[in-house]
Structure 1
């Protein structure tokens, strides 16, 4: 008659009871015991023989490198694997009765790795601490590439799943793509979660701002005067102007029929003539947004002698040309009158 065995297996502990009805025959039994990496377990080997003279003895026949097995008391063994040990290992115990009859009990120890939580390290190469911020213009595409550290990848290969709390993102592996449109304009707080095959996850909160490229620049002009003297320069500043989209602005000036681009943050103008001049200042962004302001400036007064392009100078030039002709005409008239009088006097004498 064969020996009878009774097994009661629980997590991290197994109880094996041997019922020898006759001197045991050599027999192999494989018992599976599961435990987690870094833990310990207990194996209880007990005898159902009531006669102490027939009590069975138990000992380790085959030890495993990296696993410490010690007998706490007869038939009770504690198993302590090294912390980073995992996989399946066989431990063989020898059961012997007082008559030197033996039976082998083989225990297969399955050490499963402890699941490690994945960690999001960077997004687009930038380390994320307490959240991140990215902006995009409508009509453009934003790619977010996540780098994740998952210690479980060294075992059987972990499957990581990326999810976004805002459904406008298209997920591809550990990358998220947003093709921003007009309806996405605004500020969005998106939570991205990376989950492994054990259900463990790590998340990061990212603020996404979608900018409306159609917002025109805000033009602010200072230094404008409605009335100035002809000899007075006019300096116009626009350094307080800004663009709601954060774009760089270009400024240009149009006066009467001419125009020029600004260099720096101001214009300095000198008017060539008195009168009313129309001044138009424009601010442009790279996407075609334009804001402009028009001013009418009255220029009065006379410049000092010698001033270029003045009305008085033009009068002086005409006077310089006309005076010799006028003097010559007067002299001719005087000579004519003189000779006319002399002729009349000769007639009177005759």
Structure 2
């Protein structure tokens, strides 16, 4: 923002814009002061981490690449992406049911969201772990009638599947409200116009409404994915003992060095979160095309090279839409 000098100065012979305004930017010393303060605080924090021997950075580097830790990272990623994939499918189904004209579907979706959002995820995981105790055998058949087939619960619902389903069903309740908000953000006229062209409801939702709603759905879904990455540390309640948090805690308890192993887990969580944030940025930019003028066709969002930034006054003069003296026709 420039305003301290607004006096017009004579233009140079080679200046394409006559009477160009040479403005001086406003000084902002507060920015420099705050930057220096933050740099000092950051340096103090780094110095405290590096010089404190209790962190045992040699042990951190040793176990950062440990086989058990790497296996925990892999299982954590499997739980994160697997549960999110199931949750997204259920969330879209629940959101459509919430918007349905059928009161049975609306009530069912509301009851599901009410229950899974109203109870802690840790409690739900504990019950999933006790499923084989509560119901040793599960069967499919006619209620109060003959059974078609049955199976042992412990053989089918293992610790991994219990953890995966527990995380997915809980997350679906939260994502359903995000999807419902995204669908509600689309102008109803879009669906009405598509219906007037003879499109079916399923095609309208898949090809018209959802692509436009993704601009609203993607950012909070990205946040939920990052949150799910850290929620996997609760699968010990099932119990599932192959995730990253349990692996590092087990090594820390065995070596009597809990702090370095906590640092190892924190570094891996930060690294994975950073990658997820980068992916979220590109997905948001993809679905935000056409809504942000700065990322239009030919710009960064359109995949082309970024055009060379020109002065606003030079761009206006080069367009040829204004006269050299705009006040010539209105001044005597």
User: Which TM class, normalised by the smaller chain length?
Assistant: under 0.3
Identify, as 1 or 2, the structure richer in strand: 1
* TM-score, normalised relative to structure 1: 0.18
Identify, as 1 or 2, the structure richer in helix: 2
Structure number with higher relative contact order (C-alpha < 8 Å, ≥ 6 residues apart): 2
* TM-score, normalised relative to structure 2: 0.19
